Chain A
Amino acid sequence: MSVRSLLFAAMLLFAAGGASAQPIDTARSAVSATFTQMGVPVEGKFKKVGGQVGYDPANPAAAQAKIDVEVASFDLGDAQYNREVQQKDWFDTARFPTATFVSTSVKAAGAGRLEVAGKLTVKGRSVDIKVPLSVRNDAGATVFDGSVPIRRLAFAIGQGEWKDTALLADEVLLRFHLVVNSAK
């Protein structure tokens, strides 16, 4: 085998493994959480989201993702609320500054759709979740969108008097909008 064909074989292998991880475009990506307070939906946005996604449309099962969210960047649109949710009863950002999602398996679920299973860790507590995502190509960038209901009490978000789910529902809707630019 010539050197050239070896190189070619290596390139093929690399392509098959696909999914070299790319950093997500932090400026264009967003993660939000919608709480329900006495029936009223209240959405907060995590302003600082980072991480890496490896995704090859030809081989979605090999895709992988790791998303990091700076919890202290949670913005409810009101300075007083923003300070409140940093407290121990809520996110306890002093002890747990980062929330993460790490994928464990990715399955194609029809055209432009993926089902991503993984581990969500918030406030030091991990829960396995499955997130249905849509995926599309937008001017050379890959855009993932999806949402998943989680249970805030599983992550000890809202302790003490705030445990009352009549006041603040247990179910919280997490929304992802992740933009990954193609490798240059």
Chain B
Amino acid sequence: MSYTRTAKWLHWLVAVLIVANLGLGLTMVGMPGITPTKLRYFNWHKWVGVTVFGLVVLRTAWRLWHRPPALPDSMPRWERHAAAASHAALYVLMFALPLSGYFYSLAAGFPVVYLGLFPLPVLIEPDPALKEPLVALHHGLAWTMTALLLLHVGAALKHRFVDRDEVLQRMLWRSDR
């Protein structure tokens, strides 16, 4: 049993964009002063975040209409619960992380213009009092996401190389053949 082709594409596309954006985010906040490169990175970071958000909306809709393949019977109960909980947490973060960044940008007085072309809704007015808590939330969620991703990848590798079951292959193309 394998995930649908659409689910695989959405999973890997979102995975690549999230990892890229965590890296970009970490790089840009470490850059001193205000430079053209830094401003470009900030804008790219926002565009990638908006893209992830859009894809995650599609993914969630797809996930709700398509049952994922069953887990192997060999999996102990606690692992099933841990898998369900961590996947649920990843979904929550995939919404919360871009949204917290979006509201932080608005609070800081920078409306988001997707790809520099499409102005997105200004849902809150600039608010200096909200800037600090929102950026703290955004960073906190980013680190939580990083930790969960490491757990996610670690678990996938454990399934592949320790348990030697088919859990990882469900999300790969090779298993189709």
Q: Give the B-binding residues of A (Cβ under 8 A).
A: 37-43, 76-78, 80-81, 84, 161-162, 164, 167
Q: Which residues of A contact B43 (CB under 8 A)?
A: 37-38, 40
**Dominant secondary structure at the B interface:** loop
Q: Contact check, B36 vs A38: say whether CB atoms are below 8 A apart.
A: no
Kindly state whether residue B98 has any CB partner on chain A within 8 Å.
no
The residues of B that contact A81 with a CB separation of less than 8 Å are 34
User: A77-B108, A77-B128, A78-B108 are contacts. A38–B34 as well, Cβ < 8 Å?
Assistant: no
Please report the C-alpha to C-alpha distance between residue A176 and residue B116 in the assembled complex, in whole angstroms.
27
B133 CB, nearest partner CB in chain A, Å: 16
Assembly CA distance A84 to B40 (angstroms): 17
| Size bracket of the B interface | 10 to 19
Say yes or no: is B82 at the interface (Cβ < 8 Å to chain A).
no
Across the interface, B34 reaches (CB within 8 A) one of A40, A77, A84, A164, namely: A84
The answer to whether B112 and A40 have CB atoms under 8 Å apart is yes
Given contacts A77-B126, A80-B33, 9 further A-B contacts (CB under 8 A): A37-B43, A38-B116, A39-B117, A39-B119, A40-B110, A40-B113, A41-B111, A77-B108, A167-B39
CA distance A45 to B109 in the complex (A): 13
Q: Which residues of A contact B116 (CB under 8 A)?
A: 38-40
A164 to B36, Cβ gap below 8 A? yes
Q: Say whether B35 faces chain A, with CB atoms less than 8 Å apart.
A: yes
Contact between B39 and A37, CB atoms less than 8 A apart: yes
